[in-house]
Structure 1
Amino acid sequence: MVPGVIEIHQIDSDDDEDEDSKVGIRDFLLFWTLEIISDITEQTNLYARRDKNDHSFMVTEEDICQFLGLILISGYP
């Protein structure tokens, strides 16, 4: 992963679905900027170290993006 770049991976699908997923990803990135993803990553790691005393726990920006993607795909409210 390149710092400051969100890599987007998707499963092959029909052309119509490809266009829909591109719109969804574009809309997602309008609200979830790299700065926000970076802040969430930093605060998650800080919380694990400070409040849970788990110094081995570490997430990356890619981990956070994958987690948010799973929540969106699952339709979690």
Structure 2
Amino acid sequence: MANNPFDAIQSRVGDFLGSKGLSGLENPITQLIRQSLQDMEFVTLEDFEIQKEVIQRLRERVHALEQRVEFLEKRAM
């Protein structure tokens, strides 16, 4: 099993090109794929889950503040 997604992609590309007799293209293609993946801004699942929790807490806080503002506006009338 590959250690990271790029290794899996590289292995599949190499297998495919080898089966077609195009193994000489493997290095340039894998370099192109690697560069394309590096240009993308991926985050780990752990970082994603942390951000999801932060956003949920912020939503709850905004909701509570909206309720408080509504209460204060009604009281001021």
- Over alpha carbons, which structure has the higher Rg? 2
Give TM-score, length-normalised by structure 1.
0.35
Tell which has more relative contact order, 1 or 2 (C-alpha 8 A, sep 6+). Answer: 1
Q: Which structure: greater helix fraction?
A: 2
Give TM-score, length-normalised by structure 2.
0.35
